[in-house]
Structure 1
Amino acid sequence: MNQQGPHTGRFEGKIAMVTGAGSGMGVAVARRLAAEGARAVVLADVDGASAAAVAKDVPAGRAVAVDVADAAAVDRAVEEVLRRHGGLDLVVHAAGVDDPWAKQRIADAVVEGRVPEVTDALDDEVWRRVMRINLDGTFHVLRASVRAMRPAKAGAIVVIGSSSAFDTPVGYPHYAASKAGVHALCQAVAKEVIPSGIRVNVVAPGPTETGMAARTPEVLRTGFADPRVRPYATPEEIADIALFLAGDAAANLVGAVLLANGGRFTA
């Protein structure tokens, strides 16, 4: 169901594209955009069937299968948006991956009371997969979005980063490095494109109830259940932050990385 909020109409008439829109935070963002007046919401996901299922419940939603690690596929998707709608006003890039193999090694170490040993067992393909999707994919989306937005001298791009870039969890070097790279990439691009009227910002969530989190071994999930801080965020809570950054109320935020981890730590 679409959820109406206090800012209904905030994105009236806007053309939006959401990556990773087949699940989790991407779904929440797409639904919020439609509920708040977006004229078109393009739901891009590597799992085209999942994106199509979500699009059925998103007014003006259209699904497209896109692997963000494939630069040509990203370019084609954005070019199609321009052909159909004549412009692209905002992009929320939520596509990304974790590493279940590393998580399991960390969980096993916790259960056995020893230090996780991941780096020396991390093979090149696992490293490249995380970098290819998280960091390269972000570059592909940023580049295509900037190409689309510069002629109009307007636009907003919001990227989902991670609090792991700050606390760099033990045994998760490739994921932490990929997200730290995402943050730095976005900040560098933000300074470059603001003279063209394009704003780039980042949300850095902590633990959030997504499909990715559901695959986290229970011992690690339990470790995040600290009564001194907020519980796992909902996708909708992170979507609210992303859309704040995309909206006019955040006009003075450029290159921001908003840490949204429920008080687990500050940066």
Structure 2
Amino acid sequence: MDGEHTRRFGGRIALVTGAGSGIGAAVVRRLGAQGAEVFAADVDGPAAEALAKQVPGAHSLAVDVADPAQVDGAFDEVVRRHGRLDVVVHAAGVDDPTAKEWIAEALVADRPPDVTGRLGDDAWGRVMRVNLDGAFHVLRAALRVMTPHRSGAVVTVGSSSVFDAPAGYPHYAASKAGVHALSQSVAKEAIAFGVRVNTVAPGPTETGMAARTPAALRRGFADPRVRPYATPEEIADIALFLAGDEAANLVGAVLLANGGRFTV
């Protein structure tokens, strides 16, 4: 990359959730390499701290996005230090390994998955609290900080599962569909105050979630007609595009990044 491109976020203050691993960690590294001062936030505080030590000028924050007080506290800390926040990438999220196992068992047995009737309230609630409520907490906090300055860019991480709605994964698909709709609604409101909100919707990506995916399901994604699992860095590059000046005319966009598995 040329020198200008490597500094395209120079002087900007950024906060990234889910920064302890996967896409969030890749976003932190990319933003740091391109000149931003980054706050790496994760529910796993030591993981965020370890990453921050690897990225010049980065700071770590222990944040559970399902807890609105913790989210507000993290944003308040950034404002206390810098008086503003220019970029937010919300990558925090959870999956349901147990539901994945049930789907894989059905696949191996060549029978339809039977998941919804077995889902407990705790499993449903956990996915919704982190994925959907967490996105609301982060978007709300971001707008509170950014709208007074009439500038800022927020990128949420959705999922291609919103579009193909995989059988046996209703809570995850619903939570991410909520993220997409929430982000688009907020985008229409926020742009009047100079703040852009957009979404990247990854397909299968080599993250910690993917590592927990049963082998039978992973084989199902191994289609030679499409690109293999994305790397976290490939998805991070899309997030940075959406957060950057090059995407100035994108508002409420949902960029499907699933390697050609399907289109919408």
With the shorter chain as reference, the TM-score category is over 0.9
1:190-223 Cα deviation digits (max 9, x unpaired): 0001010000000000000001100000010010
1:207-243 Cα deviation digits (max 9, x unpaired): 0000110000001001000000000000000000000
Does residue 145 of structure 2 align to residue 144 of structure 1?
no
Q: What is aligned with 2:259?
A: 262
Does residue 71 of structure 2 align to residue 74 of structure 1?
yes
Where does structure 2 lack aligned partners over 5 or more consecutive residues?
none
Does residue 62 of structure 2 align to residue 62 of structure 1?
no
Where does structure 1 lack aligned partners over 5 or more consecutive residues?
none
Which residue of 7, 11, 20 maps to 2:9?
Answer: 11
Q: What is aligned with 1:25?
A: 23
Q: What is aligned with 1:244?
A: 241
Which residue of 115, 124, 127 maps to 2:112?
Answer: 115
1:83-132 Cα deviation digits (max 9, x unpaired): 01111000000000000000000000001111000000011110000000
Q: Distance in 2 between matches of 1:211 and 1:128?
A: 21
Letter in 1 for 2:26: A
Letter in 2 for 1:197: G
Within-5 A mapping of 1:1-267:
7-38=5-36, 40-267=37-264
Letter in 1 for 2:9: F
Q: Distance in 1 between matches of 2:176 and 2:208?
A: 18
CA contact (8 A) 1:55 1:61 kept: yes
Q: Distance in 1 between matches of 2:244 and 2:3?
A: 14
Q: Distance in 1 between matches of 2:206 and 2:122?
A: 27
- Large movers: runs of 4+ above 6 Å: 3-6
SS of residue matched to 1:230:
coil
CA contact (8 A) 1:20 1:93 kept: yes
Shift of 1:162: 0.1
Q: Distance in 2 between matches of 1:10 and 1:160?
A: 21
Letter in 2 for 1:19: T
Q: Distance in 2 between matches of 1:185 and 1:7?
A: 31
Q: 1:46 to 1:111 in 2, by over 3 A?
A: same
TM-score scaled by structure 1? 0.97
Letter in 2 for 1:21: A
Shift of 1:28: 0.5
CA contact (8 A) 1:4 1:36 kept: no
Shift of 1:7: 2.1
Letter in 2 for 1:66: V
Shift of 1:163: 0.2
Q: Distance in 1 between matches of 2:210 and 2:173?
A: 16
CA contact (8 A) 1:4 1:35 kept: no
Q: 1:5 to 1:51 in 2, by over 3 A?
A: farther
Q: Percent identity?
A: 72
